[in-house]
Amino acid sequence: MTRLFLPRDSVAESLGAGAVARALLESAQRRGQPVTLTRTGSRGLLWLEPLLEVETPEGRIAYGPVGPEDVEGLLDAGLLQGAPHPLRLSRPEDMPFLARQQRLTFARCGVIDPLSLAEYRATGGLRGLEAALALGGEAVVEAVAASGLRGRGGAGFPTGIKWRSVRTAEAARKYVVCNADEGDSGTFADRMLMEGDPFTLIEGMAIAGLATGATQGYIYIRSEYPLAWRSLNAAIAAAEAAGLLGASVLGSGREFRLEARLGAGAYICGEETSLLESLEGKRGIVRAKPPIPALRGLFGRPTLINNVLSFAAVPWILAHGAAAYAECGMARSRGTMPFQLAGNIRRGGLVELGFGPTLRELVEEFGGGTRSGRPVRAVQVGGPLGAYFPERMLDLPLDYEALAGAGGMLGHGGIVVFDDTVDMARQARFAFEFCAAESCGKCTPCRIGAVRGVEVIDRVIAGRQPARNLALVEDLCEVMRDGSLCAMGGLTPLPVMSALTHFPEDFGRGAAPLAAE
Amino acid sequence: MNWDAARAMAIIAGHAGREGATLPILHGLQDAFGHVPQEAVPLVAEALNLSRAEVHGCLTFYHDFRREPAGRHVVKLCRAEACQAVGADALHAELRAAYGVDWHGTTADGRVTLEPVFCLGLCANGPAALVDGEPVARLDAARLATRLERA
């Protein structure tokens, strides 16, 4: 019996993996060649999806990208023995894109059956939770703090401090909430983990429940991720059946229940207080802080709210020790970050590394430059609210402080590459347009500012009094940055102003001086 | 499907005991009816002890919820930056012209509704879309047409 592995990740599925799986099973059966096919998550080498692997005495051999039309030829060539074929690559772990990574959080993603608890355990799963049960809540919070882990959703707030605040809050009921509303363009790490290794997230949240005294957890996942929604629900059901969740977590007598909730297409619900409103069944309107959610969060109760990747880092930290995690990284950014290469990129995908690689290493060495083959002109780091950097700034190291120091933000680690055909005035306009579409409407700078921003940029693009209108844009950005209630309005000026600062030539287009100016 | 008060009541009752049940109920109604019928709003309000205005407010806040039926196929096209970087804007202009509809519009024969969406997490393999809830990457007009014919 030969074992085959093929991702069921959204990217693989969106490129025909389902048809490849059917063709493989049919053809192998017709040939009388016994095979089993395990549907895994993705390794994150997304330009090679669907990436098929076959188990051989030398290890797993990868072939890709495989389409359904390739299946007969692959089997003819001796796929099941790992034989040569134009699509044959090598062992995945020998491919430079993977070999150079530090896969801690994503160690199992693409390797195991995401819904098999047996495979999860066999690859080190649940060791973090078992360690946490032995240590007790106080020591768990200490370990999370000592690891240096900071919120991977984008804000970079020290996770240990948040956990301690919820642990020490007095209340009859507390909540643990996972922010899986990964709305930033250019990011997909949360999705990959929920599809490829959901038990790691569940384990991390169970540890958080034990450490903070919360008995109920919610995962708020965006509706744009239908496959992750399905895999997460299946994983939660499997975890309940195995006693990993429920009235007595792993027989400890400690209760922790978990439920996934589906968002409804509002980007703003990735903002934590808006997310809590949405979970409560209301419009996703941002709340003023204080009070912080750690003290008054979901339904007014103390609530620990973290991103998927923050929770998913915790099992490794508990299993291997805080010091081992803190050894990775640079300066005040400790541990690993799953960076995501996206947009116009030749080799797009997930790159988990200790903090500190430069943008150039990621975009050029891992990514291989643009997909179009044209020169890189701009990269946007950290989603739609992140800054655009020009090619000459690619030597910036990726850590929280370095990016902030350069007028940007790391955010959730997404890097979107643009080639030299990009019009940065259009990108600045889009930043305002997006903010106008997604603003919750509670505060005036964001609600009105975004609409005004589109209007003013349109005048610049049309060449009407560009100097005066650009001064107005700058003024507007200052108001939005300083006066908005949350990061939506507060950070929209980042892409706008970075585009203006680094690409002024794009804002002079059609700017023939008008008589009125 | 057509409005069915008993069916709607059953869906609402199935979720009403949950914490913060509004979104699960609205999703359930839309899954069943293809949109959230106006007739359902007072029923949801009654079951959750909310005002109709609160339910209406929630229903209209979220992009996902539709108050009118859509076409037989719903195509959600990603308009976010990573897809823009690989030509999504031009593709969308082409598709809107080819199908003769603007955003949120449904073709005259009721076959296809085009909707914008901001990010599907397929950012290294764009342009991306959800076609009847299933992800499609490396989209172009021909690929979409093939996909819709098969569906």
Q: Which DSSP string do the residues of B23-64 spell out, in sequence order?
A: HHHHHHHHHHHSS--TTHHHHHHHHHT--HHHHHHHHHHSTT
B57/A283 CB distance under 8 A: yes
Name, in order, each residue with C-beta under 8 angstroms of A136's C-beta and a sequence gap of 6 or more.
none
Q: Is the pLDDT of residue A517 over 90?
A: no
| Dihedral sign computed on CA atoms, order A400, A403, A405, A411 | negative
* Cα separation, A497 vs A474, whole angstroms: 7
Q: What percent of chain A has pLDDT over 70?
A: 98
pLDDT at position A509: 52
Partner A, chain B 62-121, Cβ-Cβ below 8 Å = 62-65, 76, 80-86, 117-121
Residue of chain B whose alpha carbon sits nearest to that of A495:
B81
Q: Which residues pair with B78 in a beta bridge?
A: B117
Neighboring chain A residues of B119 at a CB cutoff of 8 Å: 182-185, 187, 224
Say if CB A269 and CB A282 are below 8 A apart: no
B82/A186 CB distance under 8 A: yes
Give Cα separations from A306 to A280, A336, B30 (angstroms): 17, 16, 29
pLDDT at position A512: 44
* Cα separation, A313 vs A397, whole angstroms: 22
CB nearest B137 (choices: A15, A380, A418): A15
Residue A376's SS3 state is strand
B84/A430 CB distance under 8 A: yes
Lookup result for tokens 């609205």: B26
CATH of B73-150, one of 3.40.50.720, 3.40.30.10, 3.40.50.2300, 3.30.70.2700: 3.40.30.10
pLDDT at position A511: 43
CB-defined contacts A:B, below 8 A: 162
- A424-507, CATH topology level: de novo design (two linked rop proteins) (1.20.1440)
pLDDT at position B74: 97
Say if CB A232 and CB A17 are below 8 A apart: no
The Cβ of residue A34 has, within 10 Å, a number of other Cβ atoms equal to 10
Single-letter code of the amino acid located at A415: I
pLDDT at position A7: 98
Say if CB A220 and CB A258 are below 8 A apart: no
CA geometry: angle A29, A30, A32, nearest 5 deg = 60
Closest Cα of chain B to A434: distance in Å?
A: 9
CB nearest B58 (choices: A283, A342, A349): A283
Q: For domain A329-419, is the CATH number 3.40.640.10?
A: no
Q: What is the pLDDT of residues A95-132, one digit of tens each?
A: 999 999 999 999 999 999 999 999 999 999 999 999 99
**CATH architecture, range A117-326:** 3-Layer(aba) Sandwich (3.40)
Burial class (CB in 10 A: 0-12, 13-18, 19+), A507: buried
Instruction: Give me the mean pLDDT over the A211-225 stretch.
Output: 98
pLDDT at position A510: 44
Q: Is the pLDDT of residue A515 over 60?
A: no
Q: What is the pLDDT of residues B53-111, one digit of tens each?
A: 999 999 999 999 999 999 999 999 999 999 999 999 999 999 999 999 999 999 999 99
Instruction: Give me the mean pLDDT over the B16-29 stretch.
Output: 97
Instruction: Give me the mean pLDDT over the B22-43 stretch.
Output: 98
Instruction: Give me the mean pLDDT over the A60-78 stretch.
Output: 98
Reported as half-sphere exposure (CB side, CA atoms, 13 A), residue B3 has a value of: 10
A280/B24 CB distance under 8 A: no
Which among B126, B68, B75 is positioned nearest to B98, based on CA atoms?
B75
Q: Is the pLDDT of residue A234 over 70?
A: yes
Residue A350's SS3 state is strand
pLDDT at position B1: 77
CB nearest A224 (choices: B21, B65, B119): B119
Put simply, whether the predicted model's pTM sits higher than 0.90 gets the answer: yes
A342/B23 CB distance under 8 A: no
Q: Is the pLDDT of residue A476 over 80?
A: yes
* Cα separation, A264 vs A270, whole angstroms: 11
pLDDT at position A268: 97
Neighboring chain A residues of B121 at a CB cutoff of 8 Å: 10, 182, 187-188, 190-191, 224-225, 228
B150 pLDDT tier (thresholds 50, 70, 90)? confident
Sequence ranges of chain A with CATH classification 3.10.20.600: 329-419
A438 pLDDT tier (thresholds 50, 70, 90)? very high
Q: For domain A2-93, is the CATH number 3.30.428.10?
A: no
Order across the sheet with A2-7: list the strands: A35-40, A2-7, A52-56, A59-63
Residue B130's SS3 state is strand
Closest Cα of chain B to A267: distance in Å?
A: 8
* Cα separation, B143 vs B149, whole angstroms: 10
Order across the sheet with B73-78: list the strands: B112-117, B73-78, B129-131, B134-136
Residue A88's SS3 state is strand
Size of chain B, expressed as the number of residues it contains:
151
Q: Is the ipTM of this complex over 0.90?
A: yes
Q: Is the pLDDT of residue A513 over 60?
A: no
Query: What residue spans define the domains of chain B?
Result: 5-61, 73-150
| Dihedral sign computed on CA atoms, order A395, A399, A403, A406 | negative
pLDDT at position A508: 83
Residue of chain A whose alpha carbon sits nearest to that of B65:
A264
